[in-house]
């Protein structure tokens, strides 16, 4: 019999602790498997930092009550983590506790697709694995993935940064190679998704104009369960109609994504390990794939030192990434322009595609996506009205009440996609209406003044 459970399920309640303490269960337990172990170092280190800080506090207060108070703190810390807002992966940091529940004779296997030398050491320490533990390692270096990095100009409109991909979707529809766009925040996800929806218009759908037929979708931890199920089932299907998925890192772990040919990072991952893990979701069937990283100073602010170094190096991107995993294998390419964007610059094969690399960014020879001219050619309002602060405060209050009334009619239980109400009428839009209300006299004014300009304004706020 196989028993599946999450770290949260096994460690946040007393039920499983009682089961592990049962003599009959312990006698019949033959092994424990821990998957996605690369999550352990991230949350284990966070737990140790908090734990050590409290250790010092108690030590200075009263040495004799040190052990007692440390234990109480450990329990209360886990209790706070039971709140709904506690991240799921946080419980990976407590997996070392699992070792105290299982017999010493019980076998344990720990699995992950990517782990640097530092992470492996922390996994061993967290799970209290003996030095004699057998380690089986396979290089994450995959020849069919090309690594590309491109600078993101904050002044460049979103519809230009993703203009080539938008045009592909308009022209090819469901034949567009499947692409995952990773964002750092939910806000960025919403902005990018809305941008696709505006510029694709009717091309946003495969067939009828219905939410479940969207060829571009959005996924994050706050998405309704039905939306998540719809996206996961579609992405697991090689014939699924979703062509572009805009997501946070909440998507991908444990999901066998079919026929993904491109990964776009809207800002670097937090660590090298996370970046290689996310890039590894492309080309799992061996097909040639491309991973594009957009970066600038602000988007790189949250990264560790290694990732900040990565976006500026001039050497081979592949060799630099793989050096963190102690990979001694060196892949030979018939043409080095297939390795990474840095190698492409020094390639002298003079082939027809030597200097070509796929990117969602609009190329110079193409026109901007349809409807861009609408945003650029909006005329300034010729009339204005005088409004007091009290008027604006009352307007905002009425708009918020109206938004709440709209949301009352939304049922997340039957959703298979993110509702337009949450995307098209949120606090950002309400604030924009209030700020520009002196220029607004009709719904057409709202459309012209806000709809297209809002996206780039949100982008500036995001990064």
- pLDDT 10s digits, 103-131: 878 888 888 878 888 888 888 888 888 88
Least confident window among 1-5, 137-141, 392-396: 1-5
Is pLDDT larger for residue 32 or for residue 330? 32
Cα Dmax for the chain:
82
Radius of gyration of the chain (CA): 26
Say yes or no to pLDDT of 313 above 50: yes
Contact by Cβ (8 Å): 201, 224: no
Q: How confident is the model at residue 385 (pLDDT cuts 50, 70, 90)?
A: low
Place of tokens 């140790």: 48
- Please give the C-alpha separations between residue 371 and each of 368, 378, 460, in angstroms, as whole numbers: 8, 11, 21
Residues 6+ apart with CB under 8 A from 311: 149, 268, 293, 295, 300
Query: How confident is the model at residue 423, as a pLDDT?
Result: 61
Query: How confident is the model at residue 220, as a pLDDT?
Result: 92
Contact by Cβ (8 Å): 160, 362: yes
Query: How confident is the model at residue 418, as a pLDDT?
Result: 60
> Cα–Cα distance between 217 and 25 in angstroms, integer?
44
> Cα–Cα distance between 169 and 166 in angstroms, integer?
5
Q: How confident is the model at residue 148 (pLDDT cuts 50, 70, 90)?
A: very high
- Please give the C-alpha separations between residue 126 and each of 9, 19, 94, 110, 329, in angstroms, as whole numbers: 18, 22, 8, 12, 29
Q: Where are the alpha helices (DSSP H) in 336-388?
A: 341-346, 372-376
| % of the chain at pLDDT higher than 90 | 30
269 alpha carbon, distance to own chain's centre: 9
Contacts 24+ apart (CB under 8 A), 230-235: 230/416, 230/417, 235/178, 235/260
pLDDT tens per residue across span 406-447: 777 666 666 666 655 566 677 777 887 888 887 777 776 776
- For 133, the token pair is 């533990």
Work out the average pLDDT over 288-314: 93
Is pLDDT larger for residue 2 or for residue 397? 397
Most confident of 240-249, 369-378, 394-403: 240-249
Query: How confident is the model at residue 137, as a pLDDT?
Result: 82
Query: How confident is the model at residue 421, as a pLDDT?
Result: 55
Say yes or no to pLDDT of 54 above 50: no
3-state secondary structure of 150: strand
Contact by Cβ (8 Å): 101, 5: no
pLDDT tens per residue across span 89-100: 566 666 777 777
Contact by Cβ (8 Å): 418, 424: no
Say yes or no to pLDDT of 309 above 90: yes
> Cα–Cα distance between 322 and 117 in angstroms, integer?
11
Work out the average pLDDT over 329-338: 80
The whole-model pTM stands at 0.70
**Which secondary-structure segment (H or E) carries 246?**
strand 244-247
Query: How confident is the model at residue 279, as a pLDDT?
Result: 94
Query: How confident is the model at residue 368, as a pLDDT?
Result: 52
Domain with CATH 3.40.50.300 in the chain: 145-372
Residues 6+ apart with CB under 8 A from 454: 428, 429, 432
| % of the chain at pLDDT higher than 70 | 75
Query: How confident is the model at residue 5, as a pLDDT?
Result: 75
Mean pLDDT computed over every residue of the chain? 78
Query: How confident is the model at residue 45, as a pLDDT?
Result: 45
Residue 81: phi and psi, rounded to 5, are -70, -10
Work out the average pLDDT over 257-279: 93
Residues in the chain: 463
Q: List the beta bridge partners of residue 57.
A: none
The CATH architecture to which 145-372 belongs is 3-Layer(aba) Sandwich (3.40)
pLDDT tens per residue across span 173-228: 999 999 999 999 998 999 999 899 989 989 999 999 898 999 999 999 889 989 99
- For 45, the token pair is 């280190």
Query: How confident is the model at residue 445, as a pLDDT?
Result: 72
Work out the average pLDDT over 14-36: 82
Most confident of 17-26, 106-115, 279-288, 431-440: 279-288
Query: How confident is the model at residue 426, as a pLDDT?
Result: 75
């Amino acid at each position: 019999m196989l028993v599946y459970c999450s770290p949260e399920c096994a460690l946040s309640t007393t039920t499983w602790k009682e089961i592990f303490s049962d003599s009959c269960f312990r006698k019949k337990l033959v092994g424990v498997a821990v998957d996605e172990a690369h999550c352990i170092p991230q949350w284990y280190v966070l737990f140790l930092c908090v734990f050590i800080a409290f250790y010092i506090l108690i030590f200075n207060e009263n040495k004799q009550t040190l052990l007692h108070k440390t234990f109480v703190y450990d329990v209360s810390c886990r209790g706070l983590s039971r709140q709904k807002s506690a991240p799921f992966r946080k419980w990976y940091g407590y997996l070392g506790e699992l070792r105290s529940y299982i017999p010493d004779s019980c076998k344990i296997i720990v699995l992950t697709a990517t782990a640097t030398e530092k992470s492996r050491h922390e996994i061993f320490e967290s799970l209290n694995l003996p030095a004699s533990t057998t380690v089986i390692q396979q290089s994450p270096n995959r020849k069919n993935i090309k690594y590309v990095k491109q600078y993101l100009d904050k002044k460049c409109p979103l519809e230009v940064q993703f203009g080539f991909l938008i045009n592909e979707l308009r022209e090819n529809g469901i034949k567009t190679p499947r692409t995952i766009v990773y964002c750092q925040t939910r806000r960025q996800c919403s902005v990018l998704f809305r941008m696709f929806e505006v510029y694709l218009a009717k091309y946003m759908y495969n067939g009828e104009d219905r939410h479940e037929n969207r060829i571009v979708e959005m996924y994050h931890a706050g998405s309704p369960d039905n939306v998540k199920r719809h996206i996961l089932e579609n992405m697991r299907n090689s014939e699924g109609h979703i062509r572009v998925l805009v997501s946070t890192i909440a998507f991908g772990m444990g999901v066998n994504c079919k026929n993904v040919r491109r990964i776009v990072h809207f800002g670097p991952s937090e660590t090298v390990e996370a970046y290689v893990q996310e890039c590894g979701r492309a080309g799992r069937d061996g097909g040639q794939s491309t991973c594009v990283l957009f970066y600038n100073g602000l988007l790189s602010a949250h990264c560790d030192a290694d990732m900040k170094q990565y976006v500026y190096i001039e050497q081979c991107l592949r060799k630099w990434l793989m050096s963190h995993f102690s990979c001694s294998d060196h892949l030979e390419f018939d043409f080095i322009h297939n390795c990474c964007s840095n190698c492409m610059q020094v390639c002298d094969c003079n082939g027809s595609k030597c200097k070509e690399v796929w990117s969602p960014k609009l190329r110079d020879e193409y026109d901007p996506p349809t409807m861009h001219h609408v945003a650029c050619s909006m005329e300034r309002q010729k009339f204005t009205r005088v409004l007091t602060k009290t008027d604006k405060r009352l307007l905002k209050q009425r708009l918020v009440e109206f938004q709440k009334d709209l949301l009352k009619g939304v049922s997340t239980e039957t959703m298979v996609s993110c509702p337009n109400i949450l995307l098209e009428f949120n606090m950002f839009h309400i604030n924009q209406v209030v700020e520009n209300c002196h220029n607004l006299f009709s719904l057409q004014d709202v459309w012209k003044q806000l709809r297209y300009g809002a996206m780039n304004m949100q982008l500036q706020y995001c990064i």
